[in-house]
Structure 1
Amino acid sequence: MTFRLASAAALVALLFSSCATDSDLTVLSKARANRSSGTYSTGNSFGPVGVYTTSQPSPVLAQQAAGKPKDKHGMPFYKASERTRLVRTTAYTCSEDDHIEYGSMNAAGTPLRYTDRVRSAAADWAVYPVGTVFRIKGMPQLFVVDDYGSALTGTGTVDIYTPSKQYMGAWGRRNVELTVVQWGSYARSAEILAKRTHFPHCAQMYAAINRMTSGQTAATASR
């Protein structure tokens, strides 16, 4: 497991260093969705709708989850040290009514990504701070948290970005085995959210991050 995480971390560094110039890391936007054929094309075909394949989570994860605190969906919360976890996932796309005003941009202010190597995801930034990179068991891609959503606040749910409503429906809602490869930045999350606290969900995430980081600072100071 240590070797696998180290290898994935090296791939993360490569991806983020090359995203700005690598021509095959094409940003997918709603304007380019081919809804009539059920495929999504950016010059390369992403195949027919319904191709998402994830592996069943380990039964051990379900057993471990039993005694953990739960969110409103009955899914467990984890400590940061627990990188492999049982997670409820949903899917979204930028052509949904509640996202259409933002187009193909994420909450971090950069383009949403959907390639064969790296894809965007949304989460509560107090649970998965912006920049968090993870894998889903059974899928080859890396996912990066660069977005959030009001329905995700206060939960451990991760929302997977998809390029169209057909792809969103193909993902549906599923519980997966998720492994955090690299944690994002609570400081960066707080910096972004501080300017958006007039939105209740942003205020809630911002307050949660401040409580968490204040607690960590107090614990360090008491040693």
Structure 2
Amino acid sequence: MSFLTTLNRFFIHITPFSLPTRFLRMRFPFISLAATLASAFLLCQCSTHSLVSIVKPGFSSSASFNTPAPAPSLLSAARSKPRDKHGMPVYTFGERNRVVRTTAYTCSEDDHIQYGSKSALGTSLKYNNRVRSAASDWSFYPMGTVFKIKGQPYLYVVDDYGSALTGTGTIDIYQPSRALMNVWGRRNVEISVVQWGSLERSATILSQRTGFSHCRQMYANIQRLRGLSTTTASR
């Protein structure tokens, strides 16, 4: 049995092209083949980037996601701060050590699959043994912000955003597969901001995307913050 025949039979049972393929494949075999190849392309759109990352030693181990509890002094200081909709503390730009709610995402999720393994900047999402990508509301953590998570040896850089993050201090950690995304789950961690990103560059990018409500909201918040001192801005 040829490779294409095997592939065709496999995709006939799992793709949205199943019914027309079954009906027409005997009389119009080229339609069946086209459906098979189209399905394979859609399913593999994100896989190349993911597989390269997953096979690196240690990257698939949950032990690499060790995140100790935030320092008691940091937790104590957070109690007096204003809260976002998730009940997490909202910090000023002058505060580099923070307790932050984190989630995880991957490029094969429904709301990201159209972008593949590209970030909001159009660059490849990062996942290696030195630097990894993260998404945020850019009015909380502007694009280019670099931070470390307590217990993790990596630098995380904000190069992405997401509509669910808008109006919150939540940071979404990029993972190259659903398995690793689920391992990370949702956790509150201690982070240390190494370098702040640029509100100006964030605003420039978002100003061209105001047709999307979350981009419009982030842009409006950044414009407001740019009129304030970074030592008093409530983010």
| TM-score calculated relative to the size of structure 1 | 0.79
Equivalent-residue separation in structure 2 for 1:183 and 1:215 (angstroms): 16
From 146, 149, 160, the equivalent of 1:147 is 160
Per-residue CA deviations over 1:102-158 (Å, capped at 9, x if unaligned) read: 001000111100001000000000000000000000000000000000010000000
Match of 1:66? Answer: 79
1:49/1:166 contact within 8 Å kept: no
Equivalent-residue separation in structure 2 for 1:56 and 1:215 (angstroms): 33
SS at match of 2:167: coil
Shift of 1:173: 0.4
One-letter code of the match for 1:48? S
Give unpaired runs (5+ residues) of structure 2.
1-44
Equivalent-residue separation in structure 1 for 2:201 and 2:60 (angstroms): 37
One-letter code of the match for 2:183? A
Equivalent-residue separation in structure 1 for 2:111 and 2:94 (angstroms): 34
Equivalent-residue separation in structure 2 for 1:197 and 1:205 (angstroms): 9
From 175, 191, 201, the equivalent of 2:204 is 191
Match of 2:54? Answer: 40
Q: Which runs of 4+ in 1 moved over 4 A?
A: none
Match of 2:62? Answer: 50
SS at match of 2:103: strand
The answer on 1:30 being equivalent to 2:46 is yes
Equivalent-residue separation in structure 1 for 2:227 and 2:93 (angstroms): 16
Identical positions, percent? 59
Equivalent-residue separation in structure 2 for 1:48 and 1:193 (angstroms): 34
Shift of 1:215: 2.8
Equivalent-residue separation in structure 1 for 2:114 and 2:60 (angstroms): 27
Larger Rg: 2
Match of 1:162? Answer: 175
| TM-score calculated relative to the size of structure 2 | 0.75
The answer on 1:101 being equivalent to 2:95 is no
One-letter code of the match for 2:60? P
Match of 1:85? Answer: 98
Match of 2:226? Answer: 213
Match of 1:7? Answer: none
1:49/1:170 contact within 8 Å kept: no
SS at match of 2:85: coil
1:40/1:163 contact within 8 Å kept: yes
Give unpaired runs (5+ residues) of structure 1.
1-28
Equivalent-residue separation in structure 2 for 1:47 and 1:119 (angstroms): 12
